[in-house]
A and B are shown apart, each in its own frame.
Chain A
Amino acid sequence: MYALEINGLGKVYEKGNRALNDVSLRVPQGSFFALLGPNGAGKSTMINILADIVRPSEGRVTLLGHDLFSERNWCKRRMGVVPQEIAFDPFFTPHEVLRFTAGLFGCRPDEAWLDELLERLELTRHAGKKARQLSGGMRRRLLVAQALVHRPELVILDEPTAGVDVELRRRLWDFMRELNAGGTTILLTTHYLDEAEELCDHVAIIDRGQLLTAQPMRTLMREIASSWLWLNYGRPVTLTDEDQVALAGFEPRGSEEGVCLKLGQSQDGQSTFHQAYQAAVARFGPPMDAGVRREDLEDVFLRLTGHGSQAQGSGVKS
């Protein structure tokens, strides 16, 4: 069962620019799903279509098997969205805002749950303040609380941790992880790729309105992330044509301190670490130091979106 099934979703804005192009995506029920992409990739457009703030130009979406566009209200009751833009009502306190939002979603006031939300999002001390007295981080946490008042089965968070400090971010993610463990599907966008890699079990990457990849995080990291052998010679290495030929297959790159070789798998499934090391020693002699570094989600992301030829070049972050 999928929490969300998106088929051929597209959006062309009035001015004619295309924000989404034929995106198809499945978000498994109970997953912790990262939707990643550079600024302007179409993430927010997609979320706003799901939230009924933007109209799609084409495509179909089902939520828990129900058609999102023809059964809007059924779907809305099961979905909580944290918008990217901070929105607040200057007249009301966080507590009043939560009661009001719960009401909008047709829920009778459940004070215990509202108190818990305030507590978990560390707003209890500020529950009686006017919204305009809250700091940016507090307002953002209030948006998270608002998205959860009706205990949705799918929670969508659009950049929920922008402007939230490390400690609070950690606690927010702990809370999301708890909700996820309780069966809530969580779809999030974030620019903190290390957090996405740690938290999420599924990932999709979009760029310029197109879906580049969507798969379980583990599969992505196994199949797309590569490893690099880094050999330190304590001096800049410039690769000659002969070096290029001898090290072909390892995508060799010279650097300020030595050389980098890309590792792969040989036919029997073994890493090519040994061959790469020997080939390098044969060309340049034994290194002063060596290490293997596996690409993380950020490297993969930069490589796939084509925004990271530099970072990809060295293959090494020291």
Chain B
Amino acid sequence: MSQMNLTGARALFMREVRRFLKVNMQTIVTPALTAMLYLVIFRYAMGDRHVPGMEVDYFTFLVPGLAMMAMMQNAFANTSSSMIMGKVMGMQIYLLMAPLSAFEVVAAFLLAAVVRAVVVAAAFLVVLLPFVDFSMPHPGIALVYGICASLMMGGMGLIGGMWARDFDQVAMVTNFVILPLTFLSGVFYSVQQLPPFWQAINNANPFFYLTDGFRYGFLGVGDTDPFASMGVVLVSVVVTCLACWQLWRSGWRMKE
């Protein structure tokens, strides 16, 4: 194996970050605002109700959930849209022609997705600072879960973007896979509120553990033991990253 092309990987990472910063209205402001709207709507719909079995009111419960949902959706959007745009515009061939290893390409894309996710979540949370008590009992746990979720969703976006032939197919993955997975990950409810059938479905969704762990880091309450969930999360992240690496290396849907 030849030496690493760190300059190349950094150039790709920087391009990916600049790409979303250039259209920040669409990539940062809009998603942060959408999360805010959810929060306002549920605040007035639910009033001061408490979440059953937890020591928090619904408003506080929602904040980390919505932040996590925004992170997941934006990490996915960042890689998938870049990938399909590159394909449609023909730019992707430069990634194939450049002396970059699959590891370097995947790492650059995923790190940029994490940056986008963190920026969106921060934009959402900063506005809430005056209204919410951010005591954050376990910031380290929140951080680890946030990064894991972004990596995993960034990886799924990379795979979705590689698979898709056009923008329509990306939209299909977003609407039929990503949206249900994030909506059903316990952003809006505690799993204890669900009937057994839906609990089972919920428990099979890896994003449930991510959302729940992130919330635990924020509020100190959750449905699962965050340290036990960490196993599920780490395995999911590693599998996703390995899949990205292997697919890129094989030229799947990129090279004829």
> Is A77 among interface residues, defined by CB-CB distance under 8 A?
yes
**Contact indicator B5/A51 (Cβ below 8 Å):** no
Partner of A106, one of B85, B99, B251: B99
**Most chain B C-beta atoms within 10 Å of own C-beta, residue among A51, A77, A102, A103:** A103
User: How many pairs of residues, A versus B, come closer than 8 Å at their CB atoms?
Assistant: 88
For B250, the closest partner residue in chain A by CB is A55
Stretch at the interface among B7-15, B65-73, B120-128, B174-182: B7-15
Smallest CB–CB gap between A70 and chain B, Å?
A: 10
Q: Please indicate the chain B residues that have their CB under 8 angstroms from the CB of A55 in the complex.
A: 251, 255-256
**Contact indicator A87/B94 (Cβ below 8 Å):** yes
**Contact indicator A105/B99 (Cβ below 8 Å):** yes
Assuming the A-B contacts A91-B19, A91-B22, A105-B8, are A77 and B91 also in contact, with contact meaning beta carbons closer than 8 angstroms in the complex? no
Partner of A14, one of B12, B19, B100, B256: B256
Prevailing SS type, chain A contact patch = loop
> Is A52 among interface residues, defined by CB-CB distance under 8 A?
yes
For B22, the closest partner residue in chain A by CB is A91
Prevailing SS type, chain B contact patch = helix
> Is A58 among interface residues, defined by CB-CB distance under 8 A?
no
Type the 1/0 row for B124-138, where 1 means its CB is closer than 8 Å to any CB of A.
000000000000000
> Is B45 among interface residues, defined by CB-CB distance under 8 A?
no
For B6, the closest partner residue in chain A by CB is A106
In the bound complex, CA of A101 to CA of B86 (Å): 14
> Is B195 among interface residues, defined by CB-CB distance under 8 A?
no
For A131, the closest partner residue in chain B by CB is B89
> Is B97 among interface residues, defined by CB-CB distance under 8 A?
yes
Smallest CB–CB gap between A92 and chain B, Å?
A: 8
> Is B78 among interface residues, defined by CB-CB distance under 8 A?
no
Partner of B256, one of A13, A72, A87, A102: A13
**Most chain A C-beta atoms within 10 Å of own C-beta, residue among B22, B91, B101:** B91
Partner of B93, one of A87, A96, A105, A107: A87
For A15, the closest partner residue in chain B by CB is B256
> Is A74 among interface residues, defined by CB-CB distance under 8 A?
yes
Partner of B11, one of A76, A86, A104: A104
What are the nearest 6 A-B pairs in CB distance? A103-B11, A87-B90, A73-B99, A104-B98, A76-B99, A106-B5
Instruction: Provide 26 A-B residue pairs closer than 8 Å at the C-beta atoms, listed in order of the A residue.
Output: A52-B97, A53-B255, A53-B256, A72-B99, A73-B2, A73-B100, A74-B2, A74-B99, A76-B99, A77-B99, A87-B89, A88-B90, A88-B91, A90-B85, A91-B18, A91-B22, A96-B18, A100-B14, A103-B7, A103-B12, A104-B11, A104-B12, A104-B94, A104-B95, A105-B8, A106-B7
